[in-house]
Structure 1
Amino acid sequence: MTVSAPSDRPVAGLLERPDATLAFETTGSAGPLAVHAHGSLSSRAHERRALLFDWTPLTATHRLARYDARGHGHSTGRPVPADFSYPALAEDLLALCDHLSPDAPVTALGASMGTATVLWAALARPERFDRLVLAIPAVAWEARDPRRSGLRAAADLVQRRGTGALRAAAKIGGPPAVLAEVPQYTTEFDAAEHLVPSVLRAAAEADLPAPDRLRDLPHPTLILAWPTDPVHPLPTAHTLAAHLPNAHLHTATTLEDIRSWGRVAANFLAAPAR
């Protein structure tokens, strides 16, 4: 279902999925489709409030779609951890691509959980995508093991005391140094409270695809990373860049650099494929 809107404003829509309804919006009316997937416990609205990821420069050449992952923002879901696994989220992304661009490949952008969603979707149906933009890939593979127990403990905490306790814990730790000016990025969550434990338990079992599998992805890929963040460490980005056969790594060291990523991504999409 799609809701009409003036041509200079986002067009909102809903996509029915098994056990969930995805809320999305598109901006621009011409050009190929680019779809953005946000991070865990975030949403389209949360990203706007955080003032970090501004992908609007892409609309000069692309029709940009942004959506709330199931259970996040205005999308619905159910409290079943398997529904929030990365491969399951990838199926949602692929369904949205089929809905909005049934006859042409799509550029996929993701941040954190969204990056994992994009990679799993690209492995499942590589022909569905032309280019990939992977922002702040999360800690992965062997390095992810110590984080799993923390995610399970966080799920138990929310189950007992609600998301307020999780926000308080996040404030104690504070944001990584590169995000010191935007602490709300790590202390605000936009997911239905009764679903947060399931999202966290799914994340505890989740991982990026094995590095050797990444060699099967031929897409031109831009990797966007930042330092000083143990949840999104640079070694993950470096490993992705080393194993994806057509990847370029861009590392931001300041908040100003991070806020330029929309322009960096737009330039990447406008450049001839290597």
Structure 2
Amino acid sequence: MPAATVVLLPGTASDEVFVRTVFAEPLSQVGAVLTAPRVRTLCERLTALDTAWEGHPIVVGGVSLGAHVAALWAVRNPDKCAGLVLALPAWTGAANGAPAALAAKASAQVVTEHGLDAALASTTGWLHDELTRAWRGYGDRLVPHFEEAAESAAPTLDELRSLRVPTGIVGCTDDPVHPIAVARAWAEAVPRAVLTTTTLDAYPHALGRAVQAWQQALG
């Protein structure tokens, strides 16, 4: 039996390097093959999933915005999706002032008014390193991407209830930008979902726990 292909998308202004860092090892441990496409817009994220499908169902997912896009793709393409690996869903349905949407808008404003270095100055540690690389990689598309992400829709609860594939979700119990209540709501809505949790001090590698949750849902 061929190894499962798992296509994972980055979050807002994140990149494929972060996806590989978090998910390559846990996926290899379960015999799955990771595809982490280079995408810089919402449209590119959706196109990457369409392109990855080669006639047999694939497992899709991602982090934050990437999780939203993957779940919406699964809703619209039920015959093409074999499973979902989702980390940190940030809202359900319309953004409506969700913390992650507000953070994206605020980042866009700071970059526009004060420049990229000023926006990065408020970050430290691994997050600073990740954002410095990823945000610079977006170039002139960074601010437009922040803005489109902040206005984008996630799946509604009714849409999530329509999913019939094994789904692993990881949520964070102390991340104010990605409220644990959202992850719990998604897990309660998706019929075959398994939810696992982490905390901020275990970031970023603990987001890979979504893989183990997906494996549990398979069982």
TM-score class, shorter: 0.7 to 0.9
**1:64 paired residue among 15, 34, 46:** 34
The 3 A distance-change label for structure 1 pair 167 and 215 is same
- Indicate conservation of the 8 Å contact 2:87/2:210, yes or no: no
For the aligned residue pairs, the C-alpha RMSD in angstroms reads 2.9
**Runs of 4+ off more than 6 Å:** none
**1:93 paired residue among 48, 51, 72:** 48
- TM superposition shift of 1:227: 2.2
Bigger proportion of residues as helix: 2
Question: CA-to-partner distance for each residue in 1:203-259, whole Å, 9 max, x for gaps?
Answer: 121131111221111111111111221111101101101111111110123645863
Secondary structure, counterpart of 2:126 in structure 1: coil
The 3 A distance-change label for structure 1 pair 154 and 32 is closer
Secondary structure, counterpart of 1:67 in structure 2: coil
Secondary structure, counterpart of 2:83 in structure 1: strand
The 3 A distance-change label for structure 1 pair 150 and 236 is same
CA distance in 2, matches of 1:150, 1:64: 29
Residues 1:45 and 2:45 are matched in the alignment: no
With structure 2 as the length reference, what TM-score do the two structures score? 0.82
**2:58 paired residue among 92, 100, 106:** 106
* Alignment-mate amino acid for residue 252 of structure 1: T
CA distance in 2, matches of 1:150, 1:256: 21
Secondary structure, counterpart of 1:184 in structure 2: helix
CA distance in 2, matches of 1:108, 1:67: 12
Secondary structure, counterpart of 2:7 in structure 1: strand
The 3 A distance-change label for structure 1 pair 127 and 185 is farther
The 3 A distance-change label for structure 1 pair 227 and 184 is farther
- Indicate conservation of the 8 Å contact 2:26/2:208, yes or no: yes
The 3 A distance-change label for structure 1 pair 264 and 137 is closer
* Alignment-mate amino acid for residue 67 of structure 2: T
Structure 2 match to 1:117: 69
Structure 2 match to 1:273: 218
With structure 1 as the length reference, what TM-score do the two structures score? 0.67
- Indicate conservation of the 8 Å contact 2:89/2:178, yes or no: yes
What pairs up with 1:239-254 in 2 under 5 angstroms?
A: 239-253=185-199
- Indicate conservation of the 8 Å contact 1:139/1:230, yes or no: no
What pairs up with 1:114-263 in 2 under 5 angstroms?
A: 114-141=66-93, 144-145=96-97, 147=99, 148=101, 150-168=103-121, 170-171=122-123, 182-184=126-128, 187-190=131-134, 191-253=137-199, 255-256=201-202, 259=205, 262=208
- TM superposition shift of 1:134: 0.5
The 3 A distance-change label for structure 1 pair 219 and 153 is same
- Indicate conservation of the 8 Å contact 1:93/1:117, yes or no: no
The 3 A distance-change label for structure 1 pair 142 and 130 is closer
CA distance in 1, matches of 2:210, 2:75: 25
CA distance in 1, matches of 2:185, 2:25: 28
- Indicate conservation of the 8 Å contact 1:135/1:225, yes or no: yes
Secondary structure, counterpart of 2:56 in structure 1: coil
**Please, which runs of 5 or more residues in structure 1 have no aligned partner?**
1-29, 72-83, 175-180
* Alignment-mate amino acid for residue 127 of structure 1: D
Question: CA-to-partner distance for each residue in 1:82-123, whole Å, 9 max, x for gaps?
Answer: xx34xx34531322322xxx1211111311111011111111
**Please, which runs of 5 or more residues in structure 2 have no aligned partner?**
none
Count of residues paired in the alignment: 214
- TM superposition shift of 1:146: 5.4
